Structure formats: structure tokens, C-alpha cells
Amino acid sequence: MSTFRQLVSVNSFVGLALLVGLVNNLAIAAVFGLSRSLDAYFAGAMLPKLFMVLVIDFLGKNFLPIYAARYDRSPEDASDLTSIVITQIGGFSILIALLLVLVSDKLFELLLPGFNADDIELVIGYFAIVKNGFIL
């Protein structure tokens, strides 16, 4: 199987997982009702989840077919590639995590224009809970 076909198939599964997550969120909203508390919860969890899906999860899944193709040619090259990718992703992850912690208050105000000050405080409170698990 070509590397391109492997990437397409992996990304199809990623897209399917995102769709299942969307259905999950809709089911939670249907069961618990749409309220400002629920909106604040989803908004507070949004930034770390978005980062995890778009950067860590997506890049990790796309890396596997490339790694397999490289390993077939040379295990040493595959090891070098893995080291480079892990170092870069690790550094990027630390940078983004710190940036999210430092600017989350202003970022939520920008991303949530329909929320009033009390709602933003509730979102920041939920995010404080989520970011502790995200950083640790």
C-alpha cells in the first residue's frame, strides 16, 4: 500500500472519530439540556481538546505510515526520524500548553463573543480544571 493511501485511510479514521465526538457532544446537550453551564463546560474543554486533536493526535496518526515506509528502507533512518519528530512535537506541545495557560482568559473573550463576564469566568474555571490534567 502506498504512503498516500495509508495517509488517506488513517485520516478517514481520524475524521470518523471527530464525527463520533460531535455526536457525543450533541447527545450530552440533548440529555442535559442547553444551558450556560453546559456551554461553559464545553468551551472550557475546547482549547485543550482542539490542540490534542489537531496537533498531537493528527500528527501522530499521520506519522505511523511514514515511519513504516522509512523502516522498510532502513531501521536506523526510521529511528532518526522518530527522534526528530518526538523532539519537535514535544517542544511544540510544551510551547502551546504554556501559551494556552498564559492567554486563555483573553482568548476565551475573543472566541466567545456571546458570553458575558460571568459566563467567561465560569469558562475560565472549567478550563482551570481541564488545563491541570492537560499540563500534568
98-128 tens-digit pLDDT: 887 788 788 888 877 778 888 888 888 888 7
pLDDT greater than 70 at residue 3: no
Q: List, for residues 55-102, the tens digit of each pLDDT value.
A: 667 676 778 788 888 888 999 998 998 888 888 878 887 887 788 778
- In the chain, % helix, strand, coil (3-state, to 5) comes to 90, 0, 10
Q: List, for residues 42-58, the tens digit of each pLDDT value.
A: 777 776 777 777 666 76
| CA triple 115-97-29, angle to 5 deg | 40
Contact 44, 124 (CB under 8 A): yes
What Å distances lie between residue 42 and 60, 63, 103, 121, 122, CA to CA? 24, 29, 18, 14, 11
In the chain, where the domains are located? 3-135
CB atoms within 10 A of CB 56: 15
Contact 36, 98 (CB under 8 A): no
Dihedral sign from CA coordinates of 26, 31, 35, 37: negative
